[in-house]
Amino acid sequence: MTETILTLDKVAVAFGALRAVDGVSTSVTRGERRALIGPNGAGKTTLFNAITGMYPPTEGRVVFEGEDVTRMPPEKRAARGMARTFQITNLFNQLTVEENMLLALRGLSPRKFSLFGKRDFDADERERADRALDRVRLGGRRDTEVRELSYGEQRQLELALSLVMKPTLLLLDEPAAGLSPTERSIVVEIIRDLPRDLTLVLIEHDMDLVLGLVDNVTCLHEGRILVEAPPAAIAGNKAVQEVYLGKPRHA
């Protein structure tokens, strides 16, 4: 039986006259791995923001785990199992890998952490942090300050910060952007090895990377769904090729 975890019903996000997302309807099955592709400005990140509540939709509905979350604030959606990573890194540079994990687990800012925080993990926190760090291949870097990590390792740590919250739906916005080929292949391995019951929605421009990782692909163009199909039907799709050929990729 296939169970739906996320439903978007005619979701739109308008910024003044610009309809960055313009009537997107789709649903994602529990355990599915879905790619969201489309040229720059297609509305991919904005759609993530609508799903997570950062910019609530101006029209339409978002249903997560059977509940209408359209007007629910981001932290409540997170508490229900929704996690996302950002296109831009979002870490505390002066703290160690382990301290960043503890902050995420306790939902604290660095200031509160240094003023009131207890720097020791309890047994449950320790186990969760260790498991997430092992998953992202950072088990050996616990005591390293974030600023000492390579860019690729910082992206891996971001993933761990999401995983430690034990999400049921993980939204990844260009997790391999700006990485070297070696770093990319590590991130691909990590994503491939994530638990199969974790539902993934992944924004990624690199077709070679994405088509080998997902079950289905949604291609957005000018805020609308252009094509939604399994990877095998995307690679040779004329409409997809045309929207990508029109605009060069950013670095």
Residue 15 interacting entry, from Mg ion, ligand ATP, none, C-beta within 5 to 8 Å by type: ligand ATP
Closer Cβ to ligand ATP, 40 or 114, answer by number: 40
Integer Cα distance of 87 and 175 in angstroms = 7
Integer Cα distance of 22 and 225 in angstroms = 9
Cα-based distances in Å from 170 to 6, 68, 142, 150:
11, 18, 23, 23
Specify which residues 84 forms β-bridges with.
Answer: 171
The one segment of 18-26, 36-44, 91-99, 139-147 that binds Mg ion by CB under 5 A: 36-44
The one segment of 39-47, 121-129, 151-159, 180-188 that binds ligand ATP by CB under 6 A: 39-47
Closer Cβ to Mg ion, 33 or 44, answer by number: 44
How deeply is 91 buried, as exposed, middle or buried, from its count of CB atoms within 10 A (0-12, 13-18, 19+)? Answer: middle
Binding-site member from 23, 31, 41, 139 for ligand ATP (CB under 6 A): 41
Neighbours of 3 (CB within 10 A): 9
Contact at 8 Å (CB) between 82 and 56? no
Binding-site member from 45, 49, 70, 96 for Mg ion (CB under 5 A): 45
The one segment of 25-33, 43-51, 58-66, 190-198 that binds Mg ion by CB under 5 A: 43-51
Binding-site member from 6, 8, 12, 20 for ligand ATP (CB under 6 A): 20
The one segment of 15-23, 93-101, 103-111, 162-170 that binds ligand ATP by CB under 6 A: 15-23
Residue 152 interacting entry, from ligand ATP, Mg ion, none, C-beta within 5 to 8 Å by type: none
Contact at 8 Å (CB) between 219 and 38? yes
DSSP 140: G
- For residue 40, the minimal CB distance to ligand ATP (Å) is 3
38 binds ligand ATP (CB under 6 A): yes
Own/partner pairs, 191-196, CB within 8 angstroms, 24+ separation: 193/135, 194/135, 194/163, 194/170, 196/31
Closer Cβ to ligand ATP, 43 or 175, answer by number: 43
Please give the residue ranges that form the binding site for Mg ion (CB under 5 A). 44-45
Please give the residue ranges that form the binding site for ligand ATP (CB under 6 A). 15, 18, 20, 38, 40-46
